[in-house]
Amino acid sequence: MGAVLPTHLDAVRLDELLSLWARWMRSSQPFRELWYPDQAAGCVGGGNSTSFEEMVEIAELRQAEAVNGAIDSLQPNEQSAIYHFHLAAVYRMWELEDVYLAARATLSVVLPQRGIY
C-alpha cells in the first residue's frame, strides 16, 4: 500500500509556508542571503554534488514561488488580506479577518494540490 498524501495543510505548516513566502517577498537580495550562512562547519564538498544547505535553499525557493502562485490564484480581496497580514500592506475592507481566514482555508487545500506539503 502506498503513502497517502495529505489533502489539506494544518495551521502550523501553513504558517511556516506563509512565513517563508513573506521573507521571499520582502527580500531584494539573492535568496541565499536571507538566512543561510555561506559555509557550514564540518561539511565536505566535492565533485558535482550539492551541499545540503544548497538543496534546502533550492527547495524553499521553489516552495516560496509555489505559494506566491497559489496566492495569485486567490480572489482579489483574499490576496489583499494575505498581503495585509503578512506584508503589512494597508488595505481597508470590511471583514478583513474573516476574508483572511477564508484565504487561509483555501490555501490549505490548494497548496497540497500543487504538490506543496
Residue 43, in any domain of the structure: no
Print the SS3 string covering 49-93: CCCHHHHHHHHHHHHHHHHHHHHHCCCHHHHHHHHHHHHCCCCCC
- Higher-pLDDT residue of 27 and 41 is 27
The pLDDT value recorded for residue 89 is: 84
Residue 41, in any domain of the structure: no
* pLDDT tens, residue by residue, 33-92: 555 555 555 555 555 557 888 888 888 989 999 999 999 999 999 999 999 999 988 877
The pLDDT value recorded for residue 2 is: 76
List the domain range (segments joined by +) for residue 65: 11-27+51-113
Give the chain's domain count.
1
Residue 60, in any domain of the structure: yes
Residue 73, in any domain of the structure: yes
Residue 39, in any domain of the structure: no
Residue 32, in any domain of the structure: no
The pLDDT value recorded for residue 72 is: 96
The pLDDT value recorded for residue 17 is: 96
Residue 45, in any domain of the structure: no
